[in-house]
Structures are given as C-alpha cells and as structure tokens.
C-alpha cells in the first residue's frame, strides 16, 4: 500500500524556508508535495507524471499576475525545487481553449512565450490540461495500480465499483491540445468527480490546495491497489534464477550478438540485470501464455523501452550467440517494418530511431535493460519491472490491453521528440565501462576524473580503501578495493564488473610501486614483489579482461602505465625498471595477438610525476643526488616544465580516442632524448 507522508511541521518548514527566498506558500507546498509524490517510484516512474498549482506573482511593474506553476522538462519530481516548476501566465493559456486545433509546435511556442522567466525549462507537454482544469492544484501520476486499471478491457465497471461517481473516465488521446480540451470537458460534465482516469495512460486528481490533492493521490491509488490485491494469488510467482555460470555465459552471448547486429560504428551496451525470482516467474508465465509484444503500460514508456521486449526463450539461449543474433535480427526487422508501415501514414517525414532492443525478457533468468549508459539501463529496467507488474495484474483480472501500434508510433515519433534528435552530442566515451587501477593515487585519480568527464562508466580500483575514500570522485564511480597481486581477486573483480555493467570496454592498468635498491644489493624477494605488482598484475588483468572482450566480441582496448624506466633506466631503480621493461613487451605482444579481434592495446611512458611513487621525500633525494634544486629536478626536460598527473591522464584519454592506434607507447615527460623510443 502507499503511505501518506504529509507531515504538518515539514510542510510549515517548507513554507518558511521558501518565504525567506521570496517564494509564496502556494508554490512552497507545491514543491513539498511534488517531492512526496516523486520519491515513490510506483507513483511516477522516471518522470512519468507532472504537478502544478495556480497562484499569483508580480510582473516587472509590480502587478499581481495569475500564473500556472507546472513541472518543467528535465526535472525529477523526487528532487524538484521551485525553479523546476516554471511560472507561465495563465490567462493567455486559457484563451487557447477557444481554438478548434493547435499544433504541438505552436503549443510549445505559446507556453514559452508566456513564461515569467525566459531562462526557465520548457513547461510540461500537459500544461494546457493543468491550465484548463479550474482547480488550484492538479496532480498527474502513472501509479502502477492505475496503469493496470487503465489497461483492462472493461475498466469502466471496475472504476465504478471502486469509486462510484467520484472518478470520471477519459478515452485515450495523445497528450497535447486535443487531450486537454477533451479531459476538461469531461471533468466539467462530472462536477462531483475528484479525479480522472485516463484510459491506457494514467490518473489525474486535484484539490483546493496541495494537501488535499496529495491526499487524493494516495487515497485513490490505495483503493485501486486494494482491489487488485484481493484478486492476486496468495503466493505469487515463486521462481529461481539461472546459476551464476549460465547467467555469465548468457550475458556474454547477448553482448556478442548486440555488437554483431548493431549498425553503429562504436556502440555501447550496458546491461542492467534484474534477477528477481518473482519478476522472473511472471516473465516466464507471460512467455508461456503468449502475452508478448502487446505494448506498454502507458504510451510515455515507449520512448524509453520501445513497444516490445526482445524475448529470449530457453531454446534461443541454448543456441548461444548465433541464436541470439537471429533473435535480434528478427527484432530489428520487425521494428523496421513497424516504422515503415506507420511512417508512410505520418503527416511529416520521420527519422527512424535505433531499431536495437532496449529491454530483454530472458526466460528463467529475468529482465535485462540495455542502455547507452548505466543510468539509462537502470531506467529501462525500472520501467520494465513496472510494465511486468501491470501486465500481471491486468491479465489476472480481465486482460492487458494497452494502446495499439498506431498510437505507440505517434508517441514514439512525436514531432516534439523528433526535434530533439541530433541536438545533443554525447561525450566521446559515453557508456564505455572503464576499469582504472591504482585509482587512489595521484595519476590514477586524475585518470578517473578525465575518463568520467569524457562519459565513461568508471570502476576505480585500489588496494587502499582509505586512499579511494579520500578522493573526491562522483557518486557514479564504482569503487573496488582489491589486491591486484592476487589472481583470484582479479577474476572476482572481472565477474563483479560484468555482472554489474554487462561487460567491460576499457582497461587502464595503472597501479604500480617503485622500490629503490641497487642491483648488487637487491634481494630476490623484493624483485619478485615488484614483479607481482608491476608486471604480473598487469598480465593477469590483461588475461581476464581480454577474455571478456573476446567472449563478447567487444573491440575493446587496454591501456598500460609503463614508465620511462622501461627504456631509460635510473640508478637504483632496477627492481622497478625490469618489470616495466617486460610490461612494454607485453603491450606489443598483446597488440599483435589481439589485433585480429579489433582490440587495441597501448601504453604511456611518463616521467617525474608527483605521486605515491615519486613523493616529496624521493624528489628531495633524487634532486640532491643530481645537485639540483627541487624545481630544476621536476622541470628537468626539454620544455623546462613540470609534467603533472592530469597531463598523463589526458594522454591515456587521447589513446582511448585514437581509433586506429594499437601497439603504441606515448611518451609524456616534457622531452627526454635518452628515453626516446624512436
């Protein structure tokens, strides 16, 4: 059931805090209840709803102006603040109701033209419906129980059973001007109603203030949830998932198939796997009952997950990557036919979206979201789970009957959505899963930041948990503490990353240490320890990650921090230089052997970088040995400039973006002829 989380003291605190900023109580409470609604994903799944209030604000001349404050594009209701509810002059919006028709583009233009602040985000596409309804506060949600009710074959009878005359029904019409006029007219025909059920879409409610409307959202949703709960099985869908080894193989096969079928030059496929027994059992039941490809719980979802999931039955899974390739090709062909059929009837030319699947139903295994970033993949699985639950409840009480292909196409290829295509260029490493070792050090942490800024999904690895914790990494960076000299821990890291992201795209093998001792005084154990971290850790990482690349058909890449010691030895650094020289050879050998798989392998040679290896004490020692000042020692290169960690990080990024470069070692040392490779 859904909890009513209104607390008077919290509401009053919102009012006081906003009054101090010059924001009135109406908007303060609208922010408060919007956050209450948005923080429950079963009410508004990933932007699937909007809220508004009508109030007054002074214009430039100090005249009180009637405005509609409504959720703006790009804001999440769960964390929304006052700027996310842009104020639109209300009277010009109300005038639009006199029109017989209004294009989506003209509607957006009118809304933007009447913003009190032109820097505000675009108001919701359902702004006019909120404006036309006369109530001070309006809420629109896509609660899971209401979506199940809205997609029943005969929802009217159920709605009357639950609500009597306190809820009015609106037939499906695509959001925009036409829906706004129709829904308002129906609400006016039912003055006793507290809300609207928009068939195959969602739920509207309203109130004299934010508190009343919010209470109705919770009350209405709980009444529908109670109706479905009475009709569910006492024990619902117990199930089992695939064993870990089989799941790993399935993920590898799916990734290999996606890479093979995709027409994109450098695609990113991140997989979010929901291995929940109840969800898996519901998927299995829907597959066995043929409840496939009927559509989505609300047309808004088609933009995120497409109209149909990719269905991988046990027979397809048994056929391995080849069978999955066939299933994906069939999916792409089906989607292309869907596009060709309905685009030919469209009022304006349409550009086909990527036909690759976004959601996979995997029999016996669960649900997989397929995104270009981890955020997108998780959004897809969240919506996918909600759709499965809606389908299950609807099927148990009459059937799941969402809108048909024509309406789905109109939503998916809405002119307002098409206008967004090509406007935003993704960062160059968007969605590339990147493991960076030695991330707690100066160079490693710089690499993490540079790669994350380039769009990568970063896994930061270090042996020192405290060193990782001290870095100001973003919350998106996945931190792992392991000992890279232990091959079994590297295997566990690889399994964990593949399980979390669906694979790996880039390895930046950076971790190392630099013991100091002359060759004649060196103990064998010291050399072996140095070999373990400065060579064998890189070697085992290359084997583990390279194995994933090959298994998934991923043209990924490996980048290694080598060091100028590999070609230009320094006094008393033999224990460091010997494994680094072997590492340079490893880069060349890997490039030779993995080139046929289109896997690139490169390295960076850096020198005199302030880090855990070259710390202040060592800098003083080395400078004194050369009779140099600290500054002269650190700038002892042709450019007479100190090389810093971020310069090395940018070199790794440059190699990562060099699509036709492999077997190369890039020098970053400010110029050192003795260390030149050529």
Please state the three-class secondary structure of 588-604 as a single string. HHHHHHHHHHCCEEEEE
Q: Mean pLDDT lowest for which of 292-296, 327-331, 400-404, 486-490?
A: 292-296
Q: How confident is residue 241, by pLDDT bands cut at 50, 70 and 90?
A: low
Tell me what pLDDT residue 206 has: 98
- How many other C-beta atoms lie within 10 A of the C-beta of residue 517? 16
CATH superfamily of 433-611+644-670: NAD(P)-binding Rossmann-like Domain (3.40.50.720)
Say if residue 243's pLDDT is above 70: no
Q: CA–CA separation, 296 vs 391, rounded Å?
A: 9
Tell me what pLDDT residue 421 has: 60
Tell me what pLDDT residue 344 has: 96
Q: What's the sign of the alpha-carbon dihedral 294, 338, 177, 128?
A: positive
Say if residue 619's pLDDT is above 50: yes
Q: How confident is residue 409, by pLDDT bands cut at 50, 70 and 90?
A: very high
3-state DSSP assignment of residue 16: helix
Say if residue 252's pLDDT is above 70: yes
Six token digits for residue 118 = 């032109």
Say if residue 203's pLDDT is above 50: yes
Tell me what pLDDT residue 233 has: 67
CA-to-CA dists, residue 200 to 169, 218, 303, 381, 599, angstroms: 11, 20, 15, 20, 47
Q: Mean pLDDT lowest for which of 237-251, 279-293, 400-414, 488-502?
A: 237-251
Say if residue 112's pLDDT is above 70: yes
**CATH for 8-229, options being 3.40.190.170, 3.40.50.970, 3.40.225.10, 3.30.499.10:** 3.40.225.10
Q: CA–CA separation, 318 vs 313, rounded Å?
A: 9
Residues 6+ apart with CB under 8 A from 353: 339, 412, 413
Say if residue 386's pLDDT is above 60: yes
Say if residue 210's pLDDT is above 50: yes
Question: Which residue shows structure tokens 């999916």?
Answer: 331
Q: How confident is residue 45, by pLDDT bands cut at 50, 70 and 90?
A: confident
Q: CA–CA separation, 200 vs 148, rounded Å?
A: 9
Q: Mean pLDDT lowest for which of 326-330, 467-471, 511-515?
A: 511-515
Say if residue 646's pLDDT is above 50: yes
Tell me what pLDDT residue 235 has: 46
Say if residue 429's pLDDT is above 90: yes
End-to-end CA distance of the chain: 70
CA-to-CA dists, residue 82 to 16, 30, 124, 209, angstroms: 14, 9, 15, 17
Say if residue 245's pLDDT is above 80: no
- How many other C-beta atoms lie within 10 A of the C-beta of residue 531? 17
pLDDT, tens only, 323-381: 999 999 999 999 999 999 999 999 899 999 999 999 999 999 999 999 999 999 999 99
Q: CA–CA separation, 239 vs 281, rounded Å?
A: 5
Mean predicted confidence (pLDDT) in 534-554: 98
Mean pLDDT of the chain: 93
Give yes or no for a contact between 388 and 142, defined as CB atoms under 8 angstroms apart: no
Beta bridge partners of 207: 137
Mean predicted confidence (pLDDT) in 534-538: 98
3-state DSSP assignment of residue 561: strand
244-418 under CATH 3.40.225.10, yes or no: yes
Q: Mean pLDDT lowest for which of 136-140, 187-191, 420-424?
A: 420-424
State residue 544 phi and psi, 5-degree precision.
-70, -50
> Of 487, 298, 493, which Cα lies nearest the Cα of 391?
298
Say if residue 240's pLDDT is above 60: no
Tell me what pLDDT residue 514 has: 86
State residue 206 phi and psi, 5-degree precision.
-155, 175
Q: CA–CA separation, 275 vs 270, rounded Å?
A: 16
Mean predicted confidence (pLDDT) in 441-465: 97
Q: How confident is residue 539, by pLDDT bands cut at 50, 70 and 90?
A: very high
CA-to-CA dists, residue 313 to 283, 306, 331, 395, 436, angstroms: 10, 19, 14, 21, 36
Helices and strands in the chain, H and E counts: 26, 18
pTM here is: 0.91
Tell me what pLDDT residue 359 has: 97
**Exposed e or buried b per residue across 223-247, where buried means at least 16 C-beta atoms within 10 angstroms of its C-beta:** ebbebbeeeeeeeebebebbeeeeb
If residue 141 lies in a helix (H) or strand (E), which one and from where to where?
Answer: strand 137-141
Domain edges within the chain: 8-229, 244-418, 433-611+644-670
Say if residue 488's pLDDT is above 90: yes
Q: CA–CA separation, 127 vs 138, rounded Å?
A: 11
Let me know if the fold of 8-229 is the same as that of 433-611+644-670.
no
């Amino acid at each position: 059931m859904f909890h009513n989380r209104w607390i008077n003291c919290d509401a009053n605190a919102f009012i006081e805090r906003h009054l101090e900023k010059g924001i009135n109580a109406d908007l303060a409470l609208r922010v408060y209840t919007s956050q209450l609604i948005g923080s429950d994903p079963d009410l508004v799944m990933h932007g699937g709803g909007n809220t508004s209030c009508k109030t007054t604000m002074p214009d430039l001349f100090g005249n009180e102006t009637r405005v509609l404050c409504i959720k703006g594009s790009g804001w999440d209701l769960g964390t929304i603040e006052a700027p996310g509810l842009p104020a639109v002059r209300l009277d010009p919006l109300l005038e639009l109701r006199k029109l017989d028709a209004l294009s989506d583009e003209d509607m957006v233009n009118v809304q933007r033209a009447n913003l009190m602040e032109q820097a505000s985000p675009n108001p919701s596409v359902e702004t006019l419906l909120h404006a036309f309804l006369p109530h001070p506060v309006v809420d629109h949600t896509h609660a899971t129980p209401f979506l199940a009710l809205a997609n029943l074959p005969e929802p009217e009878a159920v709605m009357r059973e639950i609500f009597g005359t306190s809820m009015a029904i609106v037939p499906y019409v695509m959001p925009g001007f036409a829906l706004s006029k129709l829904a308002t007219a129906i609400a006016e025909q039912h003055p006793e109603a507290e809300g609207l059920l928009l068939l195959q879409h969602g739920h509207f409610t309203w109130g004299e203030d934010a508190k009343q409307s919010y209470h109705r959202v919770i009350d209405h949703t709980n009444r529908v949830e109670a109706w479905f709960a009475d009709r569910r099985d006492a024990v619902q869908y117990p199930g089992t998932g695939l064993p870990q080894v089989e799941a790993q193989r399935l993920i590898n096969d799916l990734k290999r198939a996606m890479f093979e079928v995709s027409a994109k030059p450098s695609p990113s496929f991140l997989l979010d796997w929901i291995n929940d027994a109840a969800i898996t059992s519901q998927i299995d039941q829907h597959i066995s009952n043929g409840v496939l490809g009927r559509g989505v719980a609300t047309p808004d979802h088609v933009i995120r997950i497409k109209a149909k999931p990719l269905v991988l039955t046990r027979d397809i899974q048994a056929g391995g990557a080849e069978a999955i390739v066939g299933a994906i090709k069939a999916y792409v062909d089906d989607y292309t036919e869907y596009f060709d059929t309905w685009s030919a009837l469209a009022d304006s030319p349409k550009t086909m979206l990527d036909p690759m699947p976004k959601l996979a139903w995997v029999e016996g295994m669960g649900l997989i979201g397929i995104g270009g970033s981890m955020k997108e993949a998780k959004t897809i699985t969240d919506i996918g789970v909600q759709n499965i639950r809606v389908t299950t409840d609807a099927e148990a009480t009459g059937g799941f009957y969402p809108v048909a292909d024509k309406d789905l196409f109109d939503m998916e290829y809405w002119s307002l959505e098409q206008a967004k295509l090509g406007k935003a260029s993704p960062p160059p490493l968007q969605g590339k899963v990147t493991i960076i070792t030695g991330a707690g050090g100066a160079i490693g942490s710089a690499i993490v930041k540079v790669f994350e800024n380039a769009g990568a999904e970063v896994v930061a690895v270090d042996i020192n948990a405290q060193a990782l914790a001290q870095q100001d990494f973003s919350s998106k960076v996945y931190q792992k503490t392991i000992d890279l000299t232990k091959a079994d821990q590297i295997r566990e890291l690889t399994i964990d990353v593949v399980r979390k992201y669906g694979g790996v795209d880039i390895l930046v093998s950076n971790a190392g240490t630099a013991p100091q001792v002359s060759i004649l005084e060196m103990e064998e154990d010291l050399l072996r320890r140095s070999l373990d971290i400065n060579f064998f850790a890189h070697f085992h990482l290359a084997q583990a990650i390279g194995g994933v690349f090959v298994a998934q058909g991923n043209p990924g890449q490996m980048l290694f921090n080598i060091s100028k010691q590999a070609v230009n030895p320094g006094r008393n650094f033999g224990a460091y230089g010997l494994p680094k020289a072997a590492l340079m050879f490893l880069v060349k050998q890997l490039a030779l052997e993995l080139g046929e798989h289109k896997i690139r392998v490169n390295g960076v040679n850096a020198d005199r970088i302030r880090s855990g290896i070259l710390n202040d004490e060592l800098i003083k020692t080395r400078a004194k040995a050369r009779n140099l000042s600290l500054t002269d020692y650190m700038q002892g290169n042709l450019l007479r400039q100190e090389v810093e960690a971020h310069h090395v990080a940018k070199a790794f990024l440059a190699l990562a973006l060099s699509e036709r470069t492999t077997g190369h070692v890039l020098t970053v040392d400010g110029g050192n002829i003795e260390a030149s490779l050529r």
